[in-house]
């Protein structure tokens, strides 16, 4: 069965979600990943949104986090404060799924601007809840197209904290838990070294080579631990196409 890179991304990211995880999802690919996971291997995973919709039923795919589609059938419709109190709850394994315009080798993210903050060449939306998901969740997963201009040595603006400068620097900055778990791109999956907290290549998709990934990354990448990812299964693709996104809004 043939598949697109975006489908591979959604399915690969979905596999990182465990049964029982409480998932803080943005719309787009992150939501596809969470929904596919819930329908396949993590039926007890709960999806919630920064807008305050908790355990949404999602009868149709929402196109923004305040979409009325996150509201119907939720366990509660609350507000932002309630959503953030769940995000930071120490008793939950909360996983934030975040997009970004730039990422550095410690998994810090930029979604605020390209160029100087005070005179940007391109203004982007800003944090929204991304900084909060990155600061407070048990862990977070990043979705980003794999391009040199996005995988940068130095971010134009650090919107959402990853492992900051590596090592213990995240804890020293005042963030006692959390941090990036993985970066999911259209070429592969990257993870972070337990000690240095530097990004390394964990998996490359079928028909992609580690070398190709290094060429699309703006900093030196350890590829020695990488292996080829499992392609999407038929059942995963069927559920994604027929149940999760039948209108093809995101794929």
Partner 1 sequence: MTLKEAVKKHVPDGAHIALGGFTANRNPMAAIYEIIRQRVRNLHLYVHSHGQAMDLLIGAGCVKRIELAYGALGRYAPTCPRFRLAVERGEVEWEDYSNYQMVLRFLAGALDIPFIPTRTGLGTDIAAKEGLRPETRRESKVARRKLLVAEDPFNGGKVLLLPAIKPDVTIIHAQYVGEKGTVRVKGLKFADVEMAKASRHLIVTCEEIVSEEKLRHEPELNCLPGFLVDAVVEVPFGAHPTACYGFYDVDAKHLYMYYDSALSDESFQKYLEEWVYGVSCHEEYLRKVGEERLKEITATQPYGFRLGLDRRRPK
Concerning whether 50 is annotated as a catalytic residue, the answer is yes
Binding mask 2-41 for partner 1 (x = CB under 8 A): -------------------------xx-------------
DSSP code at position 173: T
Catalytic residue among 7, 50, 203, 236: 50
Query: Which of residues 20, 44, 75, 123 is near partner 1 by CB under 8 A?
Result: 123
Does residue 122 belong to the site contacting partner 1 (CB under 8 A)? yes
Does residue 107 belong to the site contacting partner 1 (CB under 8 A)? no
DSSP code at position 160: B
Compare residues 164 and 240 and give the one whose CB is closer to partner 1. 164
Query: Which of residues 21, 50, 104, 236 is near partner 1 by CB under 8 A?
Result: 50
Does residue 63 belong to the site contacting partner 1 (CB under 8 A)? yes
Encoded tokens for 180: 């990036």
Residue 174, phi-psi category: left (phi > 0), alpha (psi -120 to 50), beta (remainder)? left
Encoded tokens for 85: 């109190």
Owner of token pair 């605020």:
112
Pairwise CA distance, residues 65 & 83, whole Å: 12
Residue 60's CB is within 10 A of a number of other CB atoms, namely: 14
Query: Which of residues 5, 18, 55, 71 is near partner 1 by CB under 8 A?
Result: 71
């Amino acid at each position: 069965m043939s598949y697109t890179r975006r489908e591979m991304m959604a399915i690969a990211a979905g596999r990182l979600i465990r049964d029982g995880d409480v998932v803080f999802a943005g719309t787009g690919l992150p939501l596809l990943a969470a929904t596919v996971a819930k329908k396949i291997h993590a039926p007890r995973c709960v999806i919630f949104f920064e807008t305050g919709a908790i355990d949404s039923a999602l009868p149709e795919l929402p196109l923004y986090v305040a979409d009325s589609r996150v509201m119907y059938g939720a366990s509660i419709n609350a507000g932002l404060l309630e959503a953030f109190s769940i995000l930071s709850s120490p008793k939950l394994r909360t996983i934030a799924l975040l997009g970004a315009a730039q990422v550095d080798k410690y998994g810090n993210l930029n979604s605020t601007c390209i160029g100087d903050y005070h005179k940007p060449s391109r203004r982007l939306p800003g944090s929204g809840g991304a900084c909060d998901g990155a600061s407070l969740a048990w862990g977070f997963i990043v979705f980003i197209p794999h391009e040199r201009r996005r995988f940068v040595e130095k971010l134009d603006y650090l919107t959402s904290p990853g492992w900051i400068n590596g090592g213990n620097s995240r804890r020293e900055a005042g963030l006692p838990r959390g941090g990036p778990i993985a970066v999911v791109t259209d070429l592969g999956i990257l993870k972070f070294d337990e000690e240095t907290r530097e990004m390394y290549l964990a998996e490359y998709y079928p028909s992609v080579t580690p070398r190709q990934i290094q060429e699309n990354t703006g900093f030196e990448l350890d590829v020695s631990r990488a292996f080829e990812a499992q392609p999407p299964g038929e059942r995963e693709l069927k559920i994604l196409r027929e149940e999760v996104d039948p209108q093809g809004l995101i794929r």
